Amino acid sequence: MLCYENSELLIHNSELTLTQIAIFASGSGTNAQRIMEHFQHHPAIRVALVLSNKPDAPVLGRAANFGVPTHVFDRRSFYDTDEVRQTLAAHGIDYVVLAGFLWLVPVPLIRAYPNRMVNIHPALLPKYGGKGMYGMKVHEAVAASGDAQTGITIHLVNEEYDKGRILFQAACPVSPTDTPQDIAQKVHALEHEHFPQVIEDWAGGLPQPAPIPSPSPEG
């Protein structure tokens, strides 16, 4: 277990070897905030960048409150250019966290971070996963199903929606009277409780990655 005593001294002495995390988020960013809080004074891991596909996403303001740099991109730059990968490389990002990010990550970016990109899904995969299953749509489906439980899944990202290797799951009960909003509240509590620690265990337990190579010119 990491000791947090004298963490400022540890950070000063090991600044060049800090593990750098980037967070992608599309909306409010409550999970991103919990992650930034968790790592704010961490001796070995820090949130170095927050990225969003929405220029008015509240997560950008949350990042500013923590002094974390931000980057906003549009669909063209995300899918048709190397802008986002270059931005991650410029900030020395080692690991990528998707925290409420709603777009499918392009294959070249996934391949730039093999086994170093993680996502959280608001259900117990493989149930209620796949394209179009996010946010309240998931909770509405759970409420309509009559399932007795739901939960969260934290998994690695691959080239298919919600199909990467599962790192962690946690469940909560669902009662017959629960509305989708009730379910969402229970699931958010699980996300806030577990996601930061799973990220710490995942990123802290892996060897330091090799530098990300630039793509070879075509032709």
In a domain, 218, yes or no: no
* Phi and psi angles of residue 150, each rounded to the nearest 5 degrees, phi first: -145, -165
Is residue 146 included in any domain, yes or no? Answer: yes
Q: Specify whether 1 is located in the same domain as 95.
A: yes
**Statement to judge: residues 51 and 148 lie in one domain:** no
pTM: 0.85
The answer to whether residue 137 is domain-embedded is yes
Q: Are residues 93 and 157 in the same domain?
A: no
Nearest CA to 26 out of 134, 137, 99, 101 is that of 101
Kindly state the greatest CA–CA separation across the chain: 61
Instruction: Please give the order of strands across the beta sheet that includes 117-121.
Output: 70-72, 45-52, 19-24, 95-98, 117-121, 149-156, 166-173
The per-residue pLDDT for 10 is 38
pLDDT at 161 over 70: yes
**15 and 80 assigned to the same domain:** yes
Residue 204 predicted with pLDDT over 80? yes
- Angle, in degrees to the nearest 10, between helices 135-145 and 180-204: 120
Give the three-class secondary structure for 10.
Answer: helix
Is the pLDDT at 203 greater than 70? The verdict is yes
Distance of CA 42 to the CA centre of its chain: 18
CATH code for the domain in which residue 103 is found: 3.40.50.170
Distance, CA of 69 to CA of 60 (rounded, Å) = 9
Q: Show which of 67, 90, 113 is a domain's final residue.
A: 113
For residue 217, tell me if it sits in a domain: no
**Is residue 99 domain-shared with residue 158, that is, in the same domain?**
no
Report the share of the chain in percent with pLDDT over 70.
Answer: 86
Pair (99, 1) in one structural domain: yes
CA distances 60 to 55, 109, 175, Å, are: 8, 22, 35
Digit-coded pLDDT (tens) for 70-124? 999 999 999 999 999 999 999 999 999 999 998 999 999 999 999 999 999 999 9
Q: Are residues 107 and 161 in the same domain?
A: no
Q: Across residues 185-209, what is the average pLDDT?
A: 87
Residues 98 and 132 in one domain: no
pLDDT of the residue at 102: 87
pLDDT given at position 206: 54
pLDDT of residue 13: 40
At which residue do the structure tokens 């530098």 appear? 211
The predicted-structure confidence for 128-138, as pLDDT tens digits, reads as follows 998 889 889 99
Please write the tens of the pLDDT for every residue from 18-45. Answer: 999 999 999 999 999 999 999 999 999 9
* The pLDDT of residue 46 is above 60: yes
Q: Give me the chain's average pLDDT, please.
A: 88
- For 93, the domain range is 1-113
Q: Is 21 in the same domain as 45?
A: yes
Q: 51 and 140 share a domain?
A: no
Give, to the nearest 10 degrees, the angle between helix 180-204 and helix 30-39.
30
User: CA-to-CA distance for 88 and 20, rounded, in angstroms?
Assistant: 10
Position 86 in a domain: yes
Question: Is the model's pLDDT at 154 over the cut of 60?
Answer: yes
Q: Of 87, 113, 139, which residue sits at a domain end?
A: 113
Residues 123 and 94 in one domain: no
Active-site residues, by number, are 121
Per-residue confidence band for 181, with pLDDT thresholds at 50, 70 and 90: very high
Number of folded domains that form the chain: 2
**Do 134 and 82 sit in the same domain of this protein?**
no
> What pLDDT shows up at residue 17?
81
Q: How many residues does the chain have?
A: 219
- Can you tell me whether residue 93 is helix, strand or coil? coil
